[in-house]
């Protein structure tokens, strides 16, 4: 089966070679766990291979994102990556061609429609939506949320794009059931110093490493120690 690299060697090893392309995945973690960095590794791997990549930022302004990611050596000025700033602003601001923040980041359905428009116009192979948390709150009815989410996943799959959503740690995320895989990033309070651990909770269509593995955030980004144990 063909695989798509996450851009993180140790994580690819945990996934038995990488993600299965054309599917959607969820990366969960607490504040500062490294969700955005992980997602960016994934996109930069695509950029390096000449693929078109799309990143939609819902909480961190693109200007500060660029600054943060430059620390890891990620070049977000590359023309193969499109960054969409969908963070709240005071004034009316265009996000996609004719979609405005007011109509867009406040509605999950409008966001998914805008992304689908983008996918039709341009062949993106990798898409990141970071994070999904706020959008979820725009749909009160769980059944409606599931329907919207599932139809979005189907359209994305029909375009062949591989998608990563990020989200905060929460007990029962419906997305976990709907996506093809879930990766969780945790900070575990060890003896005096916090340990970072990464775990694959679910990966449809593949076997995977079920253990929590240590990871570090370094000047080069995330390093996953797939042969080490956290305990």
Ligand X SMILES: Nc1ncnc2c1ncn2[C@@H]1O[C@H](COP(=O)(O)OP(=O)(O)OP(=O)(O)O)[C@@H](O)[C@H]1O
Binding residues (CB under 5 A) for Mg ion: these are 35-36
CB of 42 to ligand X, least distance (A): 12
The reply to whether 33 sits near ligand X by the rule CB under 6 A is yes
159 binds, among ligand X, Mg ion, none (CB under 5 to 8 A by kind): none
172 binds, among Mg ion, ligand X, none (CB under 5 to 8 A by kind): none
The reply to whether 36 sits near ligand X by the rule CB under 6 A is yes
Contact 17, 208 (CB under 8 A): no
Say how far apart CA 198 and CA 213 lie, in whole Å: 5
Residue in 9, 15, 4, 5 with CA at minimum distance from that of residue 218? 9
Among 7, 10, 18, 29, binds ligand X (CB under 6 A): 29
Contact 210, 201 (CB under 8 A): no
Task: Kindly give, in sequence order, each residue whose CB lies less than 8 Å from that of residue 99, ignoring residues fewer than 6 positions away.
Answer: 110, 114, 117
**Range 65-124, binding ligand X (CB under 6 A):** 71
Q: Which is nearer to ligand X, 33 or 99 (CB)?
A: 33
Residue in 119, 175, 169 with CA at minimum distance from that of residue 142? 175
The reply to whether 35 sits near ligand X by the rule CB under 6 A is yes
Q: Which is nearer to ligand X, 9 or 144 (CB)?
A: 9
Contact 199, 225 (CB under 8 A): no
Say how far apart CA 149 and CA 179 lie, in whole Å: 9
Among 62, 106, 178, 217, binds ligand X (CB under 6 A): 217
The contact set with ligand X (CB under 6 A) reads: 29, 31-37, 71, 217-219
């Amino acid at each position: 089966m063909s695989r798509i690299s996450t851009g993180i060697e140790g994580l690819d090893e945990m996934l038995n070679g990488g993600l299965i392309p054309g599917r959607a995945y969820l990366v969960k973690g607490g504040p500062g766990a490294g969700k955005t960095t992980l997602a960016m590794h994934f996109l930069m791997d695509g950029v390096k291979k000449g693929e078109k990549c799309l990143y939609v930022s819902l909480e961190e302004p693109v200007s500060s994102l660029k600054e943060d990611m430059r620390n890891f050596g990620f070049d977000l000025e590359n023309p193969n990556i499109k960054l969409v700033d969908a963070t709240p602003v005071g004034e009316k601001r265009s996000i996609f061609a004719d979609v405005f923040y007011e109509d867009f980041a406040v509605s999950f359905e409008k966001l998914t429609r805008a992304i689908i428009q983008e996918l039709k116009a341009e062949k993106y192979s990798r898409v990141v939506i970071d994070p999904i948390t706020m959008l979820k709150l725009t749909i009160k009815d769980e059944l409606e949320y599931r329907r919207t989410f599932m139809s979005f996943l189907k359209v994305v799959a029909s375009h062949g794009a591989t998608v990563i959503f990020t989200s905060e740690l929460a007990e029962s995320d419906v997305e976990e059931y709907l996506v093809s895989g879930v990766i969780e990033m945790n900070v575990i309070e060890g003896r005096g110093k916090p340990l970072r651990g990464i775990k694959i909770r679910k990966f449809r269509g593949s076997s995977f490493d079920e253990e929590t593995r240590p990871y570090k955030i370094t000047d080069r980004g995330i390093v996953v120690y797939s042969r080490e144990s956290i305990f």
